[in-house]
Amino acid sequence: MTTDPEIARLTSVGMGLALGLLVGLQRGWALRDRAEGSRFAGIRTFALFGMGGAIAGVLYASARGPAMALLVAACALVLLGYVRTARTRDAISGTSGVVALLTLASGFLVGNGEELLGTAVAVVTVLLLSMREQLHRWVRHLSEREMLSIARFAVIALVVLPLLPDRPFGPYHAWNPQKLWLVVVMVSGFSFAGYFAARLLGPARGILATAAAGSVVSSTAVTAALARRMKGGSDELPILAAAAATASIVMFLRVLTLTALLAPFALPTLARLCLPGLTVSSLAAAWYLRKSRNLSPPPPADGIETRNPFDLQPALLLTAMVMVMSVAARWVLEHYGDRGLAVVLAISGTVDVDSAIITMGTLAADALTPHAAGLVLAVPVTLNTLFKALVSIGIGGWENGRHAALPLLATALAVAAGWPLIG
């Protein structure tokens, strides 16, 4: 009679075979135009590599010698296949050999009880192989500055961050080097996302795409740039107003994402308060987009700058602000309680909401109740939205700037209206 352990082992071997077939299917499709016998391996061979790896994984705990022999033999076959292919073809490519080894490793992980990891390895491998043309196209269009920026970001995120100590020190034990540097990594990461999103979409997609991408870093800066264009007064006003509302939408999404990552205890209350404002901004964007349909195509996004993807100055300035605010927040919380903290975060978050959220994330989880934390963060969100409305009028003038300012004012009022209801 078949027992449960035997069924589990058979299932693991079957999963290894299925993952090998998945990889083999992609390789067979990608190399379908090559003559028979000129390919390193086909769909059957990759399926066998996946199943062989799974068998080795199943045997590893009870029969380590045979399992290792099977793995070594499979690796030797991959090496011999690579040598043969390199000799018979002018072009040398190690892709198929590496994929065969990853398929073997994926099967081994599944057989050894790591089903999720093994499946993830195989699926990501197929995804990367399927994106060959897109990846090559991206590489061809990368500039030297962008390549250097990617390398530097990898250094600050993957080298510097893990080396920093993860312990508090300084006044009130307010500074944790690893968490402070995480601010630099996150702000730089948002900058990367905005820069490459704008680069990918391009000006042909219009001002909305660039405004949304720029707002991943700073919706305030985007609103100021839009207000400068509104000042001239033209048929662009509806699409510029839609872009300002879109920047507000992105701001809300960024705030909720940062809160979920850094201060998750405040997220439920903050999300309920932000939802009305997010709704108002979405309606305003839809309204102005509808008004712009009969106008000429959206203009290029001149005047809305996409920052250098590795400009560390904004990230370092924000980190310095967070260091100061973390000490101030603890002092105020100790001497004046929740209301004093709300005032401090409101002042710091009027121009940059991120600083208030990050400061909240540096506090102990029990420093405020989740309900109070959400209410405290809603204050800088509201004031920042009002500040952007004033910027729109101050730079663009009342006649033209009101198209961005009035929706922002309605958004701020929608958020503020929820304070008494939730409080």
pLDDT for position 303: 47
Query: How many helices (H) does the chain have, and how many strands (E)?
Result: 16, 0
Q: Going by C-beta distance under 8 Å and a sequence separation of 6 or more, which residues neighbour residue 116?
A: none
CA distance 239 to 223: 13
pLDDT truncated to tens, each residue of the chain (423 aa)?
A: 455 777 888 888 888 889 888 888 887 777 666 656 555 667 788 888 888 888 888 888 888 888 888 888 888 887 877 676 666 665 555 677 788 888 888 988 898 888 888 888 888 888 888 887 777 777 777 777 777 777 887 888 888 888 888 777 777 666 778 877 876 776 666 566 656 665 665 544 556 776 776 676 667 777 777 787 787 666 678 888 888 888 889 889 988 988 888 888 888 888 898 999 999 999 998 888 888 766 555 444 444 555 555 566 656 765 676 677 667 766 766 666 666 666 776 666 666 677 777 777 777 666 678 887 888 888 888 888 888 888 888 888 888 888 888 999 999 899 888 766 665
What's the burial of 163, exposed, middle or buried (CB within 10 Å: 0-12/13-18/19+)? Answer: exposed
pLDDT for position 133: 78
Token pair, residue 317, equals: 């300035």
pLDDT (tens digit per residue) in 119-160: 888 888 888 888 877 777 777 777 777 777 778 878 888 888
pLDDT for position 202: 53
**Which three-class secondary structure state does DSSP give residue 114?**
coil
* Residue-by-residue DSSP string for 192-209: HHHHHHHHHH-GGG-HHH
Strand partners, 169: 175
Phi-psi region of 397 (alpha: psi -120 to 50; beta: other; left: phi over 0): left
Q: Going by C-beta distance under 8 Å and a sequence separation of 6 or more, which residues neighbour residue 347?
A: none
pLDDT for position 223: 79
Residue 415 half-sphere exposure toward CB, CA atoms < 13 A: 28
Token pair, residue 312, equals: 């560390």
Token pair, residue 100, equals: 């065969």
pLDDT for position 40: 63
pTM of the model: 0.54
DSSP state of 231: T
pLDDT for position 282: 92
